[in-house]
Structure 1
């Protein structure tokens, strides 16, 4: 049994955040602009200055010192590629194998797409707004923890990674919402180990899907603050786009 189709987009965002967080810790992150993006690109590559980007949170919503940058479709694909090369990997249990192998973002079928990330220290938050998301993202995310509560990936390239999922309580929003707590523990070939927590929330507003992801490398994530930010992000996009 595999995880439902819509979970991969959220996992891709988490992968992107992990990559960005690693760059920040190593001191190699690209300097971020001080304002949120005024426009974004749709999946077909055309500029959409008056589209979904207007529904993204303003910079000050992420707290003092946050560096906010736009996230393109190409960025999401690149983030998903971090750890996505599973050739020769062993994935257990079998029920999770197909789910992990499908953890590329499914953006090709989307009608519109806007996203940004905000970095504060080692904490990174990504916000995605999409239109045309197939399936039932809320039901999919709700069911995912029960379908695959824990998975292990082993390969010569990445060592061993254990992914653990649990249900996360989030505010009741719009046409449905759900949350997932997600921890990745990686043990490298040299035995060094690191655990990265992440929180994922989705909320549906008509034909729009809000996805919010928060993670921290070497730190913690606050589920209460995350729920408050998810509420604020939902209210902002509803006010800006309706």
Structure 2
């Protein structure tokens, strides 16, 4: 089994390692078959590395996200969700600086070679998984933890309202080459309407040239960190088993 070097991503995010079969064949008649098996293994789609629906959301509805959908989300034009970047204010200043450093470290979303995802919804919450290839995989976890440490609490003001974002203590499960799980809580105060609060967990695993990102969140709920880490572990183990 060997890992095919691929650039890996971020923001989220993920890569694909490829299983190669037929190694070690020594007789001449077997060699062509081994080459055929290698080619077939390299054709394993990145989407096969996503956790199967019955394990990702038992009893729930799972929606797959295509590479084009992920690329559009990562590289979408600013303001497409109705917010002009010029009308966004983030305080304290250290948070703005941390975001800029993280954005630079994560690179250009167009560098992503391949990305797939899936999500499930439950009430006012949901869970999403993304696998991506292309980008600074080796530095992703460090970039995330550094940004959180630099800005544990941030206030984001826009024309649509205000959001106060708080990050909890980062844990680093022994997964892949590096991994991090970050608790997040958000209080939204829209320009019109009642304030809302919610919390979530974000997990990232960098493994060679692949990144796995998992997130769960909901309004008025607090996700179970033990269950979340177990799901992150299952997702990582499945990706390794299928993709290498």
Q: TM-score, normalised by structure 1?
A: 0.72
Unaligned runs of 5+ in 2: 1-7, 14-41
Question: How far is 1:91 from its partner?
Answer: 1.8
Q: TM-score, normalised by structure 2?
A: 0.71
Select which of 156, 179, 182 maps to 1:177: 179
Contact 1:181-1:198 at 8 Å conserved across structures? yes
Query: Cα RMSD between the aligned structures?
Result: 3.1
**Equivalence for 2:116:** 114
Q: Post-superposition, which runs of at least 4 consecutive aligned residues in structure 1 deviate over 3 A?
A: 75-86, 98-106
2:64 matches 1:65: no
User: Structure 1 pair 212/105, CA: closer, same or farther in 2 (3 Å)?
Assistant: farther
Distance across 2 between alignment mates of 1:95 and 1:192:
29
User: Structure 1 pair 149/224, CA: closer, same or farther in 2 (3 Å)?
Assistant: same
* Aligned length in residues: 200
Question: How far is 1:83 from its partner?
Answer: 7.1
User: Structure 1 pair 204/84, CA: closer, same or farther in 2 (3 Å)?
Assistant: farther
Greater relative contact order (Cα 8 A, min sep 6): structure 1 or 2? 2
Unaligned runs of 5+ in 1: 1-5, 12-47
> Comparing 114-123 with 224-233, which one deviates more in the overlay?
114-123
Contact 1:116-1:127 at 8 Å conserved across structures? yes
User: Structure 1 pair 213/82, CA: closer, same or farther in 2 (3 Å)?
Assistant: farther
Distance across 2 between alignment mates of 1:166 and 1:147:
12
Distance across 2 between alignment mates of 1:54 and 1:70:
11
Question: How far is 1:171 from its partner?
Answer: 2.3
**Cα shift readout 1:179-237 (whole Å, capped 9, x = no counterpart):** 11111211122462111212111112211111111111232211111000000000000
User: Structure 1 pair 83/233, CA: closer, same or farther in 2 (3 Å)?
Assistant: farther
2:143 matches 1:140: yes
**Equivalence for 2:3:** none
**Equivalence for 1:201:** 203
